[in-house]
Amino acid sequence: MTRRSVLRCLPGLLAATTVRSQDAPVRIEMGGGVIEVTFGSDQFDLPRQKIVDWVTLCARAVSSYFGRYPVSQARLEIQTAQGRRGVSGGVTYGEGGAHTRIRVGQHATEDDLNRDWILTHEFVHYGFPSMDRDRHWIEEGSATYVEPIARAAVQALPVEKVWGDMVRDMPQGLPAAGDQGLDRTHTWGRTYWGGALFCLLADVRIRQKTQCKKGLVDALRAINHAGGNVASDWPIEKALEMGDKATGGKVLMTLYGEMGAKPMEVDLPDLWRQLGVERQGGQITFHADAPLARVRSAISS
């Protein structure tokens, strides 16, 4: 989740290094960026280094997806959730530089950290420019869509879970009665999963048009490498046109025209069939003979 201040591993990546002094923040160097990590307290059952290792893995996943860490400097404040387990309360700010706050349970286990998605989601926010309220869906939707794909790329999440969760959760992004398009329907489902659906459809269309030579990842990298990050305010058209230029077409702007100001019906069962993804009783089967099986494989490879 992003807030403005008024509310608001690929080959070639540098290896991570961690530098710490007793009174200074923990400093993680990753993919050309630096994350300064501060702790509200040391009241964790886990050793602090286990939490630092978790932050490093999340940063590696995002660096893998963007081809580098998406900002040169970031601050991460880890607060203790007394008497609790797990990870919660992630929020990211852009004004004054990339800054994230997140709560880690006092009794969090290593398995809790390994299963967490929230910190990776927040780090993905660093890679996309801040938008006005009506376009908040592209910020949250891209982070929702990219997070599991980025984690799978560094073997932090099984590919079966990436697609299984999409099949389970993506229907929450479909328009309901009275929907007025992504720009004008600010429900939770349309903001997070409607935005994620936009990203999935864009990824599929780009890969179809380019015979899998390009994907949404290339568009998002181009936006970020041109200075589009959480600390910058861009109109959505600038970001989407830049992404289209990088992928050699007009997929993003065309899809925005279809989904931004009006609802667009999407036949998700047919899309999963074409991608070769079948979910039954929580079990995922991939069908290599499906029409878009190559596209599905390219997205999550």
Same domain flag for 121 and 139: no
Decide which of 125, 145, 168 is a domain's last residue. 125
> Beta-carbon neighbour count of residue 270 at 10 Å?
9
Same domain flag for 137 and 245: yes
Same domain flag for 105 and 139: no
pLDDT digits (tens, 9 = 90+) for 228-273: 999 999 999 999 999 999 999 999 999 999 999 999 999 999 999 9
Same domain flag for 121 and 12: yes
Same domain flag for 233 and 295: yes
Three-class secondary structure of residue 250 per DSSP: coil
pLDDT of residue 91: 97
Cross-strand pairs, 285: 278
Q: What Cα–Cα distance (Å) separates residue 184 from each residue in 96, 132, 197, 228?
A: 28, 12, 16, 23
Judge whether 70 and 224 are in contact, CB under 8 Å.
yes
Position 194 confidence tier, pLDDT thresholds 50, 70, 90? very high
Three-class secondary structure of residue 239 per DSSP: helix
Same domain flag for 13 and 107: yes
Three-class secondary structure of residue 11 per DSSP: coil
Same domain flag for 118 and 144: no
Q: Write phi, then psi, for 58 (nearest 5 degrees).
A: -60, -40
DSSP state of 34: E
The pTM of the full predicted model, rounded to 2 decimals, is: 0.92
Same domain flag for 44 and 62: yes
pLDDT digits (tens, 9 = 90+) for 102-159: 999 999 999 999 999 999 999 999 999 999 999 999 999 999 999 999 999 999 999 9
Same domain flag for 252 and 176: yes
Decide which of 125, 154, 172 is a domain's last residue. 125
Same domain flag for 120 and 141: no
Position 23 confidence tier, pLDDT thresholds 50, 70, 90? low
Same domain flag for 214 and 155: yes
Same domain flag for 119 and 181: no
Which residues span the domain enclosing 32?
A: 2-125
Domain count, the chain: 2
Judge whether 30 and 37 are in contact, CB under 8 Å.
no
